Amino acid sequence: MAVETIRTKSLILILTAICLGAVITPIMNSMVTVFLPVMYAEFNVSTAEMGLMKTSYMLAGIIFMLPAIKIVEKLGYKKSFLLGAAAFAILLFLSAFTPNYPYLLTMRILTGFFIVFVQITGLAILKCIFAPEQQGFAIGIYTAGMSIASFIGPLFGGVLTEFLDWRVNFLVTIPFLLLSCVLLFISLRGKEYYGKKTRSDWVGYVLFGCMTFCLMNGLAGFDEPFALHFIAAGILFLIGFIICERKVKAPALNLQLFSRNKQFTRASVALLLSYCSTTGITDIISLYLQYIGKLTPTETSIIFLLQPAIQVVGSPLVGKLADKMETKHLTVSGMGLIMLGALFLSGAGWISIPPVIHVLIGFGLLGIGVVLFSAPNTKLVMGSVSREDAATASGLVAVLRKIGGLLSVAISMKVLSLGLSGAGEQAAESVFTSAMQGAMLVCAVFAFIGMLFSWFKEKKPSEIEGNSEALGKASK
């Protein structure tokens, strides 16, 4: 199906609206992280309740992802985006006047449900309105917008919390969401895009939800005795989900996207591995800089700005480059640099340079690697499906990012804790460095495997549409 011709001015407005809606989510999440200590002190909540604020929001989003995809395909991409953004704004307003912790937790869970509509439809709309030779640049802008959140969120969250009140954080983002809705409504007036309208698979939704709940809780509590039981139950639900989806006529998730679309499968696995190889590094390096490098939290946060700064500048340029050359050269190079960055960081204690310089060089390699990989890989995922499957692909991109990040943190921290176990106080510093080296090597292995999955030939748009029709016939 050909992409509609839309005026350049309208394309700019649509891209602005999509980026505004998408960037508010990570900005708000980083703001929440900043004001959590103040909020916890005000409501006097326990450590266990503290963890619920983050895990419940993430769980709600992943569990609701598949039902939301079905709603988006039937309701339409534009209307679903407007619904999600408007509901998000209302929930933020209600959160600002929270009287107690249970009320705020409920608002966060509801936010997790509704923000899914924005996450699903953003990339799907870009897929529908931009020609194949322009999609890389559009996704590069989108990726750069997501990186901006790493600058804005912690900065404004800290200032607003310190000089005004932590509740103000919820209010300042509302105008941007409303502006996003207005711009999209005006620029896509009279236009709508739909996915495949099939029946809902409620058994599949329940199995997927149970699987997600068990695996997420198992990974989040990796060091706890109950973790293995949760992970085992999650694997059983996963097996049941796969069996169920292969038998029903209208599955909650079309598994043939993976079994018959090699580009989609390999690009999706590479995306998962990229988050597995990068997310956990941040937490460990934060400890390294403050424990070994003797930096303050503020100084550490300034160093962490290097990687997103590189992404903001480089993502649009690399996205445009992905429209003109074979994408695998960019994605493989990106994963290779991520691997080199992790290996360089694993040299802590062996390389005789100050910890700050060591980390800056490592983060520089990681930042350039992420730039070379992220936008081209997302273009591969979205470019491997037709517009009818765009909502499914966009939703899976969001899920893979969250799962990859969680896996990275869980595995990296587990390797770090194993390395630190039994260390005495006098040897603690050298033991920490050795344990960190092991965690960085694990991240490098993930990047190497991701590099292998990234080496494949990209399909032409005409081949994608033909493959989509074959999948549609096979699933009937």
Q: DSSP readout, 339-401? A: HHHHHHHTTTTTS-S-HHHHHHHHHHHHHHHHHHHHHHHHHHHHHTS-GGGHHHHHHHHHHHH
- The tally of CA atoms less than 13 A away on the side-chain side of residue 112 is 21
Mean pLDDT for the stretch of residues 407-435: 63
Nearest to 33 by CA among 364, 283, 395: 283
Residue 470 near residue 260, CB atoms below 8 Å: yes
Phi, psi of 257 (to 5 degrees): -60, -35
pLDDT at 469: 46
Mean pLDDT for the stretch of residues 205-233: 81
What confidence tier does 449 reach under pLDDT thresholds 50, 70, 90? Answer: very high
pLDDT at 195: 76
Mean pLDDT for the stretch of residues 219-229: 71
pLDDT at 387: 76
pLDDT at 5: 56
Instruction: Name the pTM for this structure.
Output: 0.79
Terminal Cα distance for the chain, rounded: 20
Mean pLDDT for the stretch of residues 232-236: 91
Average pLDDT, the chain: 80
pLDDT at 81: 92
Q: Is the pLDDT of residue 230 over 90?
A: no
- Classify 418 as helix, strand or coil: helix
Percentage of the chain beyond pLDDT 70 is 84
Whole-angstrom distance, CA of residue 125 vs CA of residue 20: 14
Q: Is the pLDDT of residue 2 over 50?
A: no
